[in-house]
A = this chain, B = another copy of it.
Amino acid sequence: MGPKEWFPELHPEPDGEPGRHRYDWAVTEPRSLADEPIHRDVALRLARNEQRYTRQRRTMVEALASIGRPATIGELIEAVGELPISTAYRNLAVLGDAGVVRRVNGTDEFARFELAEEVSGHHHHHAVCSSCGLVIDATSSARLEMALAETARAIAAENGFDVADHRLELVGRCLSCARTAT
């Protein structure tokens, strides 16, 4: 079956929402794309994987950057506004393969996503609330990083484990949950 019309009406604009009838992920944003260094970096990483930095993907990156902590799919969709779940997951996978986004595990059943450290620019760890699942970023001291590197070396020596990275989660209760009852 061919449900596609040969001559689709040019500008249907249903429901009086101008511009909503066409995909809004045009790649050719004339010049503003290269302005922000983060976007330039993301575009480069996507290009390495032969992927386009579409408007929707840029919106997702901006939402992740503005949220400032690992966001669930729900939080991301809410921040972006209009964003189908299937597209959200697929683009997160694309951005993940490109090294732009990384997945963060908390204590609840929801996956969270944040900009990769190579993109956001600062190495950090996480504090996760065992009560509500909130995850916030936690900066790391030089002393801690040295001790971590030392531990990584020991593990490599003892178990032949080639340690390339580390993830630290401080588990406790967030300010909001601490105020509420047990």
Contact = CB atoms under 8 A, between A and B. Distances in A.
A151 B144 contact: yes
Contact of A130 (B139, B140, B164): B164
B130 A163 contact: no
Interface residues of A, number: 39
B141 A150 contact: yes
Contacts of A159: 127, 136, 138, 174-175
Contacts of A178: 160, 162
Contacts of A139: 154
Interface string A145-162: 011101110111001111
A143 B136 contact: no
A171 interface: yes
A168 interface: yes
A130 B164 CA distance: 10
Nearest to A144: B147
A164 B155 contact: no
B160 A171 contact: no
30 contacts: A105-B105, A127-B155, A127-B161, A136-B159, A141-B147, A141-B154, A143-B150, A144-B148, A146-B147, A147-B148, A148-B168, A152-B172, A155-B170, A159-B174, A160-B178, A161-B170, A161-B173, A161-B174, A161-B175, A162-B172, A163-B170, A163-B172, A164-B171, A164-B173, A165-B172, A166-B168, A166-B170, A166-B171, A167-B168, A168-B169
